[in-house]
Structure 1
Protein backbone atom coordinates (compact mmCIF):
# COMPACT_ATOMS: atom_id res chain seq x y z
CA UNK A 1 0.00 0.00 0.00
CA UNK A 2 1.26 3.43 -0.96
CA UNK A 3 1.99 5.68 2.05
CA UNK A 4 -0.30 8.68 2.46
CA UNK A 5 2.65 11.08 2.45
CA UNK A 6 6.28 10.28 1.55
CA UNK A 7 8.58 9.42 4.45
CA UNK A 8 10.73 12.47 3.73
CA UNK A 9 7.76 14.89 3.58
CA UNK A 10 7.81 17.50 6.34
CA UNK A 11 4.20 17.60 7.55
CA UNK A 12 3.17 21.20 8.27
CA UNK A 13 2.64 21.75 11.99
CA UNK A 14 0.84 25.07 11.87
CA UNK A 15 -1.18 27.49 9.80
CA UNK A 16 -1.64 30.97 11.19
CA UNK A 17 -4.29 33.45 10.13
CA UNK A 18 -5.08 36.90 11.46
CA UNK A 19 -7.68 35.59 13.91
CA UNK A 20 -6.97 31.85 14.06
CA UNK A 21 -4.24 29.27 14.29
CA UNK A 22 -4.23 25.63 13.21
CA UNK A 23 -2.08 23.14 15.06
CA UNK A 24 -2.23 19.36 15.51
CA UNK A 25 -5.24 18.18 17.50
CA UNK A 26 -4.29 16.28 20.68
CA UNK A 27 -6.01 14.71 23.67
CA UNK A 28 -5.07 17.83 25.64
CA UNK A 29 -7.67 19.73 23.59
CA UNK A 30 -10.61 17.58 24.70
CA UNK A 31 -12.44 20.13 26.88
CA UNK A 32 -12.17 22.94 24.31
CA UNK A 33 -12.95 20.59 21.42
CA UNK A 34 -15.94 19.05 23.17
CA UNK A 35 -17.43 22.48 23.81
CA UNK A 36 -17.00 23.49 20.16
CA UNK A 37 -18.43 20.20 18.89
CA UNK A 38 -21.45 20.06 21.17
CA UNK A 39 -22.42 23.71 20.69
CA UNK A 40 -22.38 23.09 16.91
CA UNK A 41 -23.56 19.47 16.89
CA UNK A 42 -26.79 19.86 14.90
CA UNK A 43 -24.99 21.50 11.96
CA UNK A 44 -22.00 19.17 12.11
CA UNK A 45 -24.15 16.05 11.73
CA UNK A 46 -24.49 16.69 7.98
CA UNK A 47 -21.15 18.35 7.31
CA UNK A 48 -19.24 15.13 6.70
CA UNK A 49 -21.81 13.71 4.33
CA UNK A 50 -25.15 11.98 4.46
CA UNK A 51 -25.30 9.21 7.02
CA UNK A 52 -21.94 10.01 8.63
CA UNK A 53 -23.54 10.35 12.06
CA UNK A 54 -20.88 12.39 13.83
CA UNK A 55 -21.26 13.83 16.33
CA UNK A 56 -23.89 11.66 17.98
CA UNK A 57 -26.45 13.51 20.12
CA UNK A 58 -25.17 11.64 23.17
CA UNK A 59 -21.44 12.09 22.47
CA UNK A 60 -19.71 12.08 25.84
CA UNK A 61 -16.53 13.83 26.87
CA UNK A 62 -14.92 10.41 27.20
CA UNK A 63 -15.94 9.45 23.66
CA UNK A 64 -14.53 12.73 22.37
CA UNK A 65 -11.29 11.98 24.21
CA UNK A 66 -11.10 8.61 22.44
CA UNK A 67 -11.70 10.31 19.07
CA UNK A 68 -8.97 12.86 19.78
CA UNK A 69 -6.57 10.11 20.84
CA UNK A 70 -7.24 8.30 17.58
CA UNK A 71 -6.66 11.49 15.57
CA UNK A 72 -3.44 12.16 17.49
CA UNK A 73 -2.14 8.64 16.84
CA UNK A 74 -3.01 8.80 13.13
CA UNK A 75 -1.08 12.07 12.93
CA UNK A 76 1.94 10.46 14.63
CA UNK A 77 1.93 7.51 12.22
CA UNK A 78 1.22 9.81 9.25
CA UNK A 79 -2.04 8.12 8.17
CA UNK A 80 -4.15 11.30 8.38
CA UNK A 81 -3.79 14.74 9.90
CA UNK A 82 -6.30 16.41 12.21
CA UNK A 83 -5.82 20.01 13.24
CA UNK A 84 -7.63 22.12 15.78
CA UNK A 85 -8.55 25.66 14.79
CA UNK A 86 -7.83 27.84 17.81
CA UNK A 87 -7.89 31.51 18.68
CA UNK A 88 -4.38 33.00 18.36
CA UNK A 89 -3.98 32.84 22.16
CA UNK A 90 -4.87 29.10 22.08
CA UNK A 91 -7.68 29.57 24.61
CA UNK A 92 -10.74 28.69 22.53
CA UNK A 93 -11.41 26.04 19.91
CA UNK A 94 -12.98 27.58 16.82
CA UNK A 95 -13.25 24.36 14.81
CA UNK A 96 -11.15 21.65 13.19
CA UNK A 97 -9.60 20.68 9.86
CA UNK A 98 -8.83 17.18 8.60
CA UNK A 99 -6.42 16.11 5.85
CA UNK A 100 -7.17 12.48 4.99
CA UNK A 101 -6.53 9.93 2.25
CA UNK A 102 -9.31 10.02 -0.31
CA UNK A 103 -11.36 6.86 -0.79
CA UNK A 104 -12.29 8.05 -4.29
CA UNK A 105 -10.44 7.40 -7.52
CA UNK A 106 -8.74 10.44 -8.98
CA UNK A 107 -7.98 12.16 -5.66
CA UNK A 108 -4.92 11.90 -3.41
CA UNK A 109 -6.56 13.57 -0.44
CA UNK A 110 -9.82 14.83 0.95
CA UNK A 111 -9.98 17.89 3.18
CA UNK A 112 -12.77 18.69 5.62
CA UNK A 113 -13.08 21.58 8.01
CA UNK A 114 -15.65 23.17 10.24
CA UNK A 115 -16.06 26.19 12.49
CA UNK A 116 -18.23 26.40 15.57
CA UNK A 117 -21.69 27.88 15.19
CA UNK A 118 -20.83 31.01 17.16
CA UNK A 119 -18.28 31.94 14.45
CA UNK A 120 -20.55 31.56 11.41
CA UNK A 121 -21.46 35.26 11.26
CA UNK A 122 -17.87 36.48 11.67
CA UNK A 123 -16.59 35.41 8.24
CA UNK A 124 -14.15 32.95 9.84
CA UNK A 125 -15.36 30.07 7.70
CA UNK A 126 -14.58 31.96 4.49
CA UNK A 127 -11.17 33.11 5.75
CA UNK A 128 -10.34 29.58 6.87
CA UNK A 129 -11.45 28.19 3.49
CA UNK A 130 -9.15 30.60 1.63
CA UNK A 131 -6.22 29.90 3.96
CA UNK A 132 -6.66 26.12 3.79
CA UNK A 133 -6.85 26.10 -0.02
CA UNK A 134 -3.59 28.11 -0.23
CA UNK A 135 -1.88 26.04 2.49
CA UNK A 136 -2.76 22.70 0.91
CA UNK A 137 -1.62 23.92 -2.52
CA UNK A 138 1.63 25.50 -1.31
CA UNK A 139 2.79 23.35 1.62
CA UNK A 140 1.48 19.86 0.98
CA UNK A 141 2.56 17.20 -1.50
CA UNK A 142 -0.78 16.38 -3.13
CA UNK A 143 -1.64 16.67 -6.79
CA UNK A 144 -5.39 16.14 -6.65
CA UNK A 145 -7.31 17.52 -3.67
CA UNK A 146 -11.00 16.93 -2.96
CA UNK A 147 -13.12 19.17 -0.76
CA UNK A 148 -16.24 16.99 -0.33
CA UNK A 149 -19.36 18.91 0.54
CA UNK A 150 -17.56 22.16 -0.29
CA UNK A 151 -16.04 22.35 -3.78
CA UNK A 152 -17.61 19.00 -4.71
CA UNK A 153 -21.31 18.57 -3.83
CA UNK A 154 -22.09 15.43 -1.82
CA UNK A 155 -24.21 13.84 -4.55
CA UNK A 156 -21.38 14.22 -7.06
CA UNK A 157 -18.80 12.97 -4.51
CA UNK A 158 -20.82 9.87 -3.64
CA UNK A 159 -21.21 9.02 -7.33
CA UNK A 160 -17.43 8.83 -7.84
CA UNK A 161 -15.95 5.31 -7.87
CA UNK A 162 -13.97 4.17 -4.86
CA UNK A 163 -10.34 3.12 -5.17
Structure 2
Protein backbone atom coordinates (compact mmCIF):
# COMPACT_ATOMS: atom_id res chain seq x y z
CA UNK A 1 0.00 0.00 0.00
CA UNK A 2 1.25 3.52 -0.73
CA UNK A 3 1.96 5.80 2.20
CA UNK A 4 -0.66 8.38 3.19
CA UNK A 5 2.00 11.11 2.93
CA UNK A 6 1.67 13.50 -0.01
CA UNK A 7 4.49 13.44 -2.55
CA UNK A 8 5.11 17.13 -1.94
CA UNK A 9 5.79 16.30 1.73
CA UNK A 10 8.47 13.68 1.05
CA UNK A 11 11.84 15.15 2.09
CA UNK A 12 14.50 15.27 -0.59
CA UNK A 13 17.10 14.21 1.92
CA UNK A 14 19.28 15.35 4.77
CA UNK A 15 22.73 16.91 4.85
CA UNK A 16 24.94 16.84 7.96
CA UNK A 17 28.65 17.36 8.54
CA UNK A 18 29.18 13.59 8.47
CA UNK A 19 26.97 12.41 5.61
CA UNK A 20 24.32 13.14 3.00
CA UNK A 21 21.05 11.23 2.71
CA UNK A 22 19.33 11.34 -0.67
CA UNK A 23 17.00 9.05 -2.62
CA UNK A 24 18.88 6.09 -4.02
CA UNK A 25 19.03 5.71 -7.83
CA UNK A 26 20.26 3.02 -10.17
CA UNK A 27 23.38 5.06 -10.92
CA UNK A 28 24.48 4.43 -7.29
CA UNK A 29 24.92 0.72 -8.05
CA UNK A 30 28.72 0.54 -7.87
CA UNK A 31 29.15 2.59 -4.69
CA UNK A 32 26.24 0.82 -3.01
CA UNK A 33 27.60 -2.57 -4.08
CA UNK A 34 30.96 -1.85 -2.45
CA UNK A 35 29.24 -1.05 0.86
CA UNK A 36 26.94 -4.08 0.63
CA UNK A 37 29.70 -6.57 -0.11
CA UNK A 38 31.98 -5.18 2.59
CA UNK A 39 29.14 -5.68 5.08
CA UNK A 40 27.59 -8.87 3.69
CA UNK A 41 28.13 -11.08 6.73
CA UNK A 42 26.14 -8.90 9.08
CA UNK A 43 23.63 -7.87 6.40
CA UNK A 44 22.63 -11.52 6.13
CA UNK A 45 21.73 -11.50 9.84
CA UNK A 46 19.94 -8.17 9.40
CA UNK A 47 18.03 -9.45 6.36
CA UNK A 48 17.49 -12.95 7.77
CA UNK A 49 18.40 -14.30 4.35
CA UNK A 50 21.34 -15.33 2.20
CA UNK A 51 21.43 -11.85 0.63
CA UNK A 52 23.88 -10.75 -0.53
CA UNK A 53 25.32 -13.97 -1.90
CA UNK A 54 29.08 -14.19 -2.34
CA UNK A 55 28.57 -14.11 -6.12
CA UNK A 56 26.27 -11.08 -6.04
CA UNK A 57 27.19 -8.71 -8.89
CA UNK A 58 27.09 -4.98 -9.53
CA UNK A 59 24.57 -5.59 -12.30
CA UNK A 60 22.27 -7.54 -9.99
CA UNK A 61 22.57 -4.72 -7.49
CA UNK A 62 21.69 -2.22 -10.20
CA UNK A 63 18.50 -4.19 -10.92
CA UNK A 64 17.62 -4.05 -7.22
CA UNK A 65 18.18 -0.29 -7.16
CA UNK A 66 15.93 0.21 -10.19
CA UNK A 67 13.11 -1.37 -8.17
CA UNK A 68 13.88 0.74 -5.11
CA UNK A 69 13.96 3.89 -7.22
CA UNK A 70 10.57 3.05 -8.75
CA UNK A 71 8.97 2.33 -5.36
CA UNK A 72 10.31 5.62 -4.03
CA UNK A 73 8.86 7.54 -7.01
CA UNK A 74 5.50 5.79 -6.56
CA UNK A 75 5.37 6.49 -2.83
CA UNK A 76 5.21 2.77 -1.96
CA UNK A 77 8.48 2.76 0.01
CA UNK A 78 11.32 5.22 0.45
CA UNK A 79 15.00 4.33 0.19
CA UNK A 80 17.82 6.76 0.87
CA UNK A 81 21.48 6.15 0.28
CA UNK A 82 23.87 7.44 2.94
CA UNK A 83 26.86 9.03 1.23
CA UNK A 84 29.99 10.69 2.56
CA UNK A 85 29.92 14.50 2.11
CA UNK A 86 32.04 14.27 -1.05
CA UNK A 87 29.64 11.77 -2.62
CA UNK A 88 32.43 9.29 -3.30
CA UNK A 89 31.62 6.56 -0.76
CA UNK A 90 28.36 4.89 0.21
CA UNK A 91 28.14 4.61 4.00
CA UNK A 92 24.88 2.64 4.17
CA UNK A 93 21.16 2.82 3.48
CA UNK A 94 17.89 3.89 5.10
CA UNK A 95 14.53 2.34 4.20
CA UNK A 96 11.03 3.50 5.12
CA UNK A 97 8.35 0.87 4.54
CA UNK A 98 4.62 1.10 5.14
CA UNK A 99 3.50 -0.83 8.21
CA UNK A 100 0.54 -2.16 6.21
CA UNK A 101 2.80 -3.29 3.35
CA UNK A 102 3.46 -6.81 2.15
CA UNK A 103 6.57 -7.12 4.33
CA UNK A 104 4.22 -7.55 7.27
CA UNK A 105 1.50 -9.62 5.60
CA UNK A 106 1.29 -12.95 7.39
CA UNK A 107 3.66 -11.79 10.13
CA UNK A 108 2.83 -12.42 13.75
CA UNK A 109 3.02 -9.00 15.39
CA UNK A 110 3.00 -8.95 19.18
CA UNK A 111 2.60 -5.68 21.08
CA UNK A 112 4.64 -4.89 24.16
CA UNK A 113 2.10 -3.23 26.46
CA UNK A 114 -0.92 -1.46 24.99
CA UNK A 115 0.67 -0.44 21.68
CA UNK A 116 -1.34 -0.60 18.43
CA UNK A 117 0.48 -1.40 15.19
CA UNK A 118 -1.98 0.64 13.12
CA UNK A 119 -0.99 3.80 14.99
CA UNK A 120 2.36 3.71 13.17
CA UNK A 121 2.65 4.46 9.45
CA UNK A 122 6.29 3.61 8.76
CA UNK A 123 8.84 0.96 9.65
CA UNK A 124 12.35 2.41 9.41
CA UNK A 125 15.37 0.19 8.75
CA UNK A 126 18.97 1.29 8.37
CA UNK A 127 22.48 -0.10 8.13
CA UNK A 128 25.98 1.31 8.00
CA UNK A 129 28.92 -0.27 6.21
CA UNK A 130 31.17 -2.38 8.41
CA UNK A 131 34.24 -0.13 8.21
CA UNK A 132 32.21 2.78 9.62
CA UNK A 133 31.05 0.98 12.76
CA UNK A 134 34.31 1.68 14.60
CA UNK A 135 33.70 5.43 14.26
CA UNK A 136 30.09 5.00 15.44
CA UNK A 137 28.60 6.30 12.20
CA UNK A 138 25.58 4.11 12.98
CA UNK A 139 25.00 5.98 16.27
CA UNK A 140 25.36 9.33 14.51
CA UNK A 141 22.99 8.22 11.75
CA UNK A 142 20.36 6.99 14.21
CA UNK A 143 20.44 10.32 16.05
CA UNK A 144 20.12 12.26 12.80
CA UNK A 145 17.28 10.03 11.61
CA UNK A 146 15.34 10.53 14.82
CA UNK A 147 15.51 14.32 14.47
CA UNK A 148 14.81 14.23 10.71
CA UNK A 149 11.77 11.98 11.03
CA UNK A 150 10.36 14.12 13.82
CA UNK A 151 10.96 17.48 12.13
CA UNK A 152 10.75 16.97 8.37
CA UNK A 153 8.30 14.10 7.88
CA UNK A 154 4.53 14.15 8.33
CA UNK A 155 4.20 10.45 9.06
CA UNK A 156 1.54 9.11 11.39
CA UNK A 157 4.12 7.56 13.68
CA UNK A 158 7.20 5.50 12.86
CA UNK A 159 9.12 2.55 14.28
CA UNK A 160 12.80 1.68 14.06
CA UNK A 161 13.02 -2.00 13.17
CA UNK A 162 15.95 -4.40 13.43
CA UNK A 163 16.44 -8.13 13.87
CA UNK A 164 17.28 -9.67 17.22
CA UNK A 165 20.16 -11.57 15.60
CA UNK A 166 21.71 -8.29 14.43
CA UNK A 167 23.06 -7.81 17.95
CA UNK A 168 25.28 -4.84 17.10
CA UNK A 169 22.22 -2.77 16.12
CA UNK A 170 20.08 -4.10 18.98
CA UNK A 171 22.82 -2.97 21.39
CA UNK A 172 23.01 0.43 19.66
CA UNK A 173 19.26 1.02 20.03
CA UNK A 174 19.41 -0.29 23.60
CA UNK A 175 21.75 2.58 24.50
CA UNK A 176 19.07 5.15 23.54
CA UNK A 177 15.72 6.02 25.12
CA UNK A 178 13.84 4.18 22.36
CA UNK A 179 11.51 1.55 23.79
CA UNK A 180 10.60 -1.87 22.42
CA UNK A 181 7.01 -1.67 21.17
CA UNK A 182 6.49 -4.82 19.07
CA UNK A 183 8.05 -8.11 18.13
CA UNK A 184 7.49 -9.31 14.57
CA UNK A 185 7.82 -12.95 13.53
CA UNK A 186 7.85 -13.72 9.81
CA UNK A 187 7.19 -17.23 8.52
CA UNK A 188 10.45 -18.94 7.57
CA UNK A 189 12.67 -16.39 9.32
CA UNK A 190 14.76 -17.74 12.22
CA UNK A 191 14.88 -14.54 14.25
CA UNK A 192 12.30 -12.04 15.44
CA UNK A 193 12.25 -8.45 14.29
CA UNK A 194 12.14 -5.85 17.05
CA UNK A 195 10.30 -2.56 16.57
CA UNK A 196 11.08 0.50 18.71
CA UNK A 197 9.77 4.02 19.13
TM-score for both structures, normalised by structure 2: 0.72
What does residue 45 of structure 1 align with? 44
- Post-superposition CA distance 1:51-96 (Å, at most 9, x none): 3443233222111011100000111111111110000111110111
Say which SS state the counterpart of residue 70 (structure 1) adopts: helix
What does residue 130 of structure 2 align with? 117
What does residue 89 of structure 2 align with? 92
Contact 1:148 1:157 in 2 (8 A): no
What stretches of structure 1 of length at least 5 have no aligned partner?
none
1:157 lines up with 2:184 in the alignment: yes
TM-score for both structures, normalised by structure 1: 0.86
* Equivalent residue in structure 2 for 1:132, among 132, 136, 145: 145
Tell me which stretches of 4 or more aligned residues in structure 1 moved more than 4 Å. 150-153
The 1:6–1:55 alpha-carbon spacing in structure 2 relative to 1, beyond 3 Å, is same
Contact 2:5 2:155 in 1 (8 A): no
After TM superposition, the structure 1 stretch with the greater mean CA deviation from structure 2, 72-81 or 95-104, is 95-104
Alpha-carbon RMSD: 2.1
What does residue 21 of structure 2 align with? 22
Say which SS state the counterpart of residue 38 (structure 1) adopts: helix
What does residue 81 of structure 1 align with? 78
The Cα of 1:143 is off from its aligned counterpart by 2.4
1:68 lines up with 2:65 in the alignment: yes
When the two structures are aligned, how many residues end up with a matched partner?
A: 156
